[in-house]
Amino acid sequence: MSELLTTAETAARLGVKAETVYAYVSRGLLTNVRPGDRRGSRFDQDEVERLAERGRAPAGVAERIRTGLTLLTEDEVYVRGHALSTLARESTFEQVARLLWSGEPRAGAFTAPAALVEAATGAVAALPRSARLTDRIRVAVAAAGAADPLRHDLDPGAVVARAEGLLATVVRGLGGRPGPVAAGLRPVVPAPPRVLDALLVALADHDLAASTLAARVAASARANPYAVVAAGLGALDGQAHGAASVLAHRFLAEALADPVAALAERLRTGTPVPGTGHRVYRTRDPRFGPVLELVPAGPVREAVDAVVARLTGTFPNVDLALAAVLHTHDLPADAGEALFAIARTAGWVAHALEEYAEPGLRFRVEGVYVGPRPERR
């Protein structure tokens, strides 16, 4: 590794702000080689130089996407100016979804069109028993889109109406009941509706995560709302994104038996502790606390506290708190990924609404050709 640069030095070399440097880290364009270091982040000079040699900031990165939806800070996440910690404690998922879509946190359950429910439930029923909940969600979304002849209507009002219908349809397609999303999910994810509402609110949007960027690219091509959600679900299915909650669930299962041994095994193998660290945050994940509040005193809370007390050079993130909620209510590991997918659907649609108002096909990232050169004659 070459010389290490501070955040300020890296920003100066690239000609950007410090916030943009961390945006590059969250997009995988730069690597913070000392995450969690109290002395500050450090970046490999050679990697910084390669990025600088492109001559301009890469197209489509965070600072070039103007969004009025979610603000991330070290202390809080804000949804259209409202603190996420407060929303998670006081609001329903429907209110926060509508807050994201229109700025108005209106209450009221979503309604699923009968034709979409019939298509979704029929398609999901054809899946093998081994299909995960997220597999069923993807199939339900695809079937609902195919059953909607007016899906290409991109008027904002029509998009919001379809988003409401789609979310209600997905719940029914999974075997849930009509009514509010949290209550409707109980036959599938048997936890108190207030707990499910808080989880869905906490996970609804998180700025330009990989799946959200995929959804915006699809919206830029003027894909219909069902296709936008399908694009987000495709990125979410990646090992480095949606699977994080499953890994945290497995790790916490080990920690419930012996938290020290669970940590020691990761240290011995040199593997990261699931449910810790984050590509955007440097010292804490502000979503961790509000979600962990849902876990009462008892063995699960004690295991989490024991793990957190022994962490060095990193910090717990929302996936560990989500895993704790799942264990508290004896929910399967894939329930966390499914809740993430349902919650983030609201965020993907909100970003699509913003993107539909932008010029189409604006994401054309420049490729740097590194293959064989053409033969000269």
Ramachandran region of residue 222, left (φ > 0), alpha (ψ -120 to 50) or beta?
Answer: left
Q: What integer is the mean pLDDT of 50-61?
A: 60
pLDDT at 39 over 80: no
pLDDT band at 261 (very low <50, low <70, confident <90, very high): very high
Largest CA distance in the chain: 76
Distance CA 280, CA 25 (A): 7
pLDDT band at 259 (very low <50, low <70, confident <90, very high): very high
- Kindly report, residue by residue over 73-97, the tens digit of the pLDDT: 989 999 999 999 999 999 999 999 9
- 210-220 and 333-356 helices, crossing angle to 10°: 40
Q: What integer is the mean pLDDT of 109-122?
A: 98
pLDDT band at 1 (very low <50, low <70, confident <90, very high): low
- 318-328 and 193-203 helices, crossing angle to 10°: 160
* Token couple for 46: 């050679």
Cβ-Cβ contacts under 8 Å for 129 (sequence gap 6 or more): none
Q: What does pTM read for this prediction?
A: 0.83
pLDDT at 63 over 80: no
- Kindly report, residue by residue over 282-318, the tens digit of the pLDDT: 899 999 999 999 999 999 999 999 999 999 999 999 9
- Kindly report, residue by residue over 133-143, the tens digit of the pLDDT: 999 999 999 99
Distance CA 208, CA 26 (A): 9
Distance CA 320, CA 246 (A): 10
Q: What is the mean pLDDT of the chain?
A: 92
* Token couple for 9: 């030095």
CA-to-CA dists, residue 299 to 68, 138, 257, 328, angstroms = 40, 35, 10, 9
The domains of the chain, with CATH numbers, are 4-64 (1.10.1660.10), 87-377 (1.10.580.10)
Distance CA 176, CA 170 (A): 8
pLDDT band at 34 (very low <50, low <70, confident <90, very high): confident
Distance CA 322, CA 259 (A): 17
Distance CA 236, CA 233 (A): 5
* Token couple for 88: 């998670």
DSSP secondary structure, 267-327, as one string: HHHTPPPTTB--SS-SS--TTHHHHHTTS-SSHHHHHHHHHHHH--S--B-HHHHHHHHHH
Among 367, 360, 358, 366, smallest CA distance to 65 is for 358
- The pLDDT of residue 58 is 47
